[in-house]
Amino acid sequence: SLQVFLTFLLVTGVHSNKEMAKKIKRPKFTVPQINCDVKAGKIINPEFIVKCPAGCQDPKYHVYGTDVYASYSSVCGAAVHSGVLDNSGGKILVRKVAGQSGYKGSYSNGVQSLSLPRWRESFIVLESKPKKGVTYPSALTYSSSKSPAAQAGETTKVYQRPPIPGTTAQPVTLMQLLAVTVAVATPTTLPRPSPSAASTTSIPRPQPVGHRSQEMDLWSTATYTSSQNRPGADPGIQRQDPSGAAFQKPVGADVSLGKLPTSPKVLLLFPGLVPKEELSTQSLEPVSLGDPNCKIDLSFLIDGSTSIGKRRFRIQKQLLADVAQALDIGPAGPLMGVVQYGDNPATHFNLKTHTNSRDLKKAIEKITQRGGLSNVGRAISFVTKNFFSKANGNRSGAPNVVVVMVDGWPTDKVEEASRLARESGINIFFITIEGAAENEKQYVVEPNFANKAVCRTNGFYSLHVQSWFGLHKTLQPLVKRVCDTDRLACSKTCLNSADIGFVIDGSSSVGTGNFRTVLQFVTNLTKEFEISDTDTRIGAVQYTYEQRLEFGFDKYSSKPDILNAIKRVGYWSGGTSTGAAINFALEQLFKKSKPNKRKLMILITDGRSYDDVRIPAMAAHLKGVITYAIGVAWAAQEELEVIATHPARDHSFFVDEFDNLYQYVPRIIQNICTEFNSQPRN
């Protein structure tokens, strides 16, 4: 009976425990909410779920990187950029990862992220699908006592200090508690946090008294002097230096860095102070080097005419500020200057005045309207002559771009000024707002002015809006187009866009002295071009009965190297097989020409060829090689005309003496450029 009774009690107890377990509800997980401006680096937790509000697509919430973001980025802004959220907000999962050596900016989902050389910590954004078995925090741990979450109405983890008799207990956050430590360091300079210590993949723990703190990323330096004894102050904090000697802070003593013993050096950390790394991120926003995928030199010509009015002028400035933000201005990326026109143009700032988006936006805000007429043609001429110079920050490897903003129509002509700008390698874009009404067209000085001005008339370089209130719609297409450097056709000029192959007669009739004169002629022509592996390239072939490749297009990529190579060409001597030389040049030089390059062959000979030149010359023409034939002394005029590209009068030249070759350098260059600039602009 006793056994039966015990069994009854056991069963009853188990049943009661089960009933109690059913009644105990598991704590419901509450998703913390954060504001759009909260940066990932402020949050200590290595992985967490948060709820973002609507409106985080705003450009003022900076994002650095693509897919993997620097922890200095807005968490919610990065979520919109990555496509996990849209501008209406929602829940996301954030996971901290290691810092990167570089972060690449990009435009995605309405957010322009910026580039950054390096940062100590990164994060990725995922959809808010919790992992099984992983517990996510309902309250986030922040790296400073004044957490952004508190501003958003979220409660942070608070540590309650045991009350001291006669005092009021003051709550302190966990991070304040962790900061109450004194660290002893032997070097005379304060230690810098190591990269590994900067990681926040785990929550730091307080260190026992007498041990050096390992959480270097929490260190915060300060000078602290206590003029009054704080009620409830600790009677003393004892720390040990590496040798084992102890340093005792007496009760109520004044404490400052200046009053501490000189050896060992002492670093004091006090509650409530911002940790060192957080202090640096608050005071110094990382300055981007710019987006290297959009390395352009950009000039904005803004309309300051009286007719535009103050309100529309402010709208125009807002577009400039938005462009400055979206472009990610920096020395390794785009640079931007502003010229305002009215009666006369004036430069507000050039390419090197402001080298980051933040400073540029501040400068744009200070621009005031000049008034006057709308002399756009005069402004384009001004920019062509003055703006894109080395002194103003122009970079030889960056395309020159001008964006002209016009309210209504210009009060002067733009066609001729624009032609000279295009021939100088400037890509002209036009943004026109509120064109002339039917009854106003009689006042338009130059009808269809935009198509007469822009780099190409295919629509790529022109943007039009019916109203100033729609100007903001041009932002994204404009930024995308000016950064599409492969389509900036006017960057290519007659002097920087060709593969030029010199085919030089080295036959016995030339002679050593005259051969040196020919090489000087080749040198004089070469000096006129912009030489690099992406601009004009030079190659050379010498021929007699045989042919010799002196150097190919890819051999030298600078003008000094090319000029030295020309000087080193040795005179060969022999017969004159010009037809075979043309075939050789097509095979050994121009077959290796780049597809986007103009192919120019400049052939110099002093006599009639021993072989036929017609078939080789025709082959050159069919392959798109523009051939200039220069004959000296005994060269046959009719043979030069066969070799030269049509029309022969523009591509064949004859001089009676070698010493007169130099006179033809300007004419040949002019013909090359005239032909280049006469290409259709559609």
User: How do residues 275-298 score in pLDDT, each as one tens digit?
Assistant: 344 334 433 556 678 888 899 999
Q: What was the pLDDT predicted at 7?
A: 60
User: Which positions ≥6 away from 285 have C-beta within 8 Å?
Assistant: 62, 72, 358
Q: What was the pLDDT predicted at 162?
A: 40
State the average pLDDT over residues 663-681. 88
Give the start-end residues of each E strand in 509-597. Answer: 537-543, 547-551
Q: How many residues would you count in the chain?
A: 682
Does 144 map to a domain? no
> Chain-wide mean pLDDT for the chain?
80
Does 259 map to a domain? no
Q: If residue 24 lies in a helix (H) or strand (E), which one and from where to where?
A: none
Instruction: Give whole-number Cα distances, 598 to 132, 514, 585, 673, in Å.
Output: 62, 30, 15, 12
Q: What was the pLDDT predicted at 211?
A: 34
552 with 597, same domain: the answer is: yes
444 with 504, same domain: the answer is: no
* Amino acid making up residue 72: Y
- The residue among 2 and 22 whose pLDDT is bigger is 2
Does 29 map to a domain? no
Would you say residue 199 has pLDDT above 60?
no
576 with 483, same domain: the answer is: no
Residue span of the structural domain in which 381 resides: 297-487
468 with 504, same domain: the answer is: no
**End of a domain among 97, 126, 155?**
126
Q: d(Cα 605, Cα 633) in Å, to the nearest integer?
A: 9
Would you say residue 88 has pLDDT above 80?
yes
Between helices 559-567 and 512-527, what is the axis angle to 10°?
170
462 with 513, same domain: the answer is: no
pLDDT tens digits, one per residue of 298-355:
999 999 999 899 999 999 999 999 999 999 999 999 999 999 999 999 999 999 999 9
- The residue among 535 and 208 whose pLDDT is bigger is 535
Does 175 map to a domain? no
Q: d(Cα 30, Cα 399) in Å, to the nearest integer?
A: 53
522 with 410, same domain: the answer is: no
508 with 632, same domain: the answer is: yes
Does 139 map to a domain? no
Would you say residue 403 has pLDDT above 70?
yes
301 with 335, same domain: the answer is: yes
Q: If residue 533 lies in a helix (H) or strand (E), which one and from where to where?
A: none
According to DSSP H, which parts of 142-183 are helical?
A: 148-151, 174-178
Would you say residue 67 has pLDDT above 60?
yes
Q: d(Cα 430, Cα 425) in Å, to the nearest integer?
A: 16
Q: d(Cα 348, Cα 368) in Å, to the nearest integer?
A: 10
State the average pLDDT over residues 62-77. 92
Q: What was the pLDDT predicted at 130?
A: 78
User: Which positions ≥6 away from 42 have C-beta within 8 Å?
Assistant: 142, 143, 144, 147, 148, 278
Q: If we measure between CA atoms, which residue out of 280, 153, 146, 172 comes closest to residue 219?
A: 280
Q: d(Cα 410, Cα 376) in Å, to the nearest integer?
A: 6
- The residue among 601 and 218 whose pLDDT is bigger is 601
Specify the number of domains making up the chain.
3
> For the whole model, what pTM was predicted?
0.51
**End of a domain among 126, 157, 192?**
126
Q: What was the pLDDT predicted at 167?
A: 40
Q: What was the pLDDT predicted at 242?
A: 35
Q: Write phi, then psi, for 400 (nearest 5 degrees).
A: -90, 125
Dihedral of CA atoms 39, 42, 45, 46 in degrees, nearest 10, equals 60
Tell me the β-bridge partners of 248.
Answer: 238
Q: In what order do the strands lie in the sheet with 426-433?
A: 346-349, 335-341, 297-303, 400-407, 426-433, 462-465
Q: What is the CATH number of the domain that holds 108?
A: 2.170.130.20
pLDDT band at 472 (very low <50, low <70, confident <90, very high): very high
According to DSSP H, which parts of 348-398 are helical?
A: 357-365, 376-382
Q: d(Cα 82, Cα 124) in Å, to the nearest integer?
A: 9
Query: pLDDT over 70 for what percent of the chain?
Result: 74
pLDDT tens digits, one per residue of 136-173:
888 999 876 444 444 444 433 433 434 434 444 344 44
313 with 438, same domain: the answer is: yes
Does 626 map to a domain? yes
With 0-12 / 13-18 / 19 or more C-beta atoms within 10 angstroms meaning exposed / middle / buried, residue 202 is exposed
Q: What was the pLDDT predicted at 157?
A: 41
Tell me the β-bridge partners of 182.
Answer: 268
- The residue among 92 and 280 whose pLDDT is bigger is 92
Does 288 map to a domain? no
- The residue among 14 and 535 whose pLDDT is bigger is 535
Pick from 8-22, 424-438, 529-543: least confident: 8-22
Give the start-end residues of each E strand in 304-363. Answer: 335-341, 346-349
pLDDT tens digits, one per residue of 111-144:
888 888 778 899 999 988 877 778 888 899 987 6
Q: Beta-carbon neighbour count of residue 288 at 10 Å?
A: 24
Q: d(Cα 344, Cα 346) in Å, to the nearest integer?
A: 7
420 with 536, same domain: the answer is: no
Q: d(Cα 489, Cα 460) in Å, to the nearest integer?
A: 11
- The residue among 98 and 544 whose pLDDT is bigger is 544
pLDDT band at 2 (very low <50, low <70, confident <90, very high): low
pLDDT band at 20 (very low <50, low <70, confident <90, very high): low
Q: Are 498 and 600 within 8 A, CB to CB?
A: yes
**End of a domain among 82, 105, 126?**
126
Q: Are 433 and 465 within 8 A, CB to CB?
A: yes
State the average pLDDT over residues 433-456. 89
pLDDT tens digits, one per residue of 613-670:
999 999 999 999 999 999 999 999 999 999 999 999 999 999 999 999 999 999 999 9
Q: What is the DSSP string of 49-96?
A: EEEE-S-TT-TTS--BEESEEETTSBHHHHHHHHTSS-TT-EEEEEEE
State the average pLDDT over residues 563-588. 96
- Out of 24-33, 59-68, 211-220, the most confident range is 59-68
Q: If we measure between CA atoms, which residue out of 10, 12, 88, 22 comes closest to residue 52?
A: 88
Would you say residue 547 has pLDDT above 80?
yes
Q: What was the pLDDT predicted at 15?
A: 53
575 with 439, same domain: the answer is: no
Q: What is the CATH number of the domain that holds 305?
A: 3.40.50.410
Query: pLDDT over 90 for what percent of the chain?
Result: 58
Q: What was the pLDDT predicted at 409?
A: 93
Q: Beta-carbon neighbour count of residue 19 at 10 Å?
A: 9
Q: d(Cα 518, Cα 298) in Å, to the nearest integer?
A: 41
463 with 518, same domain: the answer is: no
pLDDT band at 273 (very low <50, low <70, confident <90, very high): very low
Looking up tokens 């056991």 gives: 10
Q: What was the pLDDT predicted at 144?
A: 61
Looking up tokens 């190919």 gives: 552
Q: d(Cα 438, Cα 440) in Å, to the nearest integer?
A: 5
Q: Are 482 and 295 within 8 A, CB to CB?
A: no
Does 188 map to a domain? no
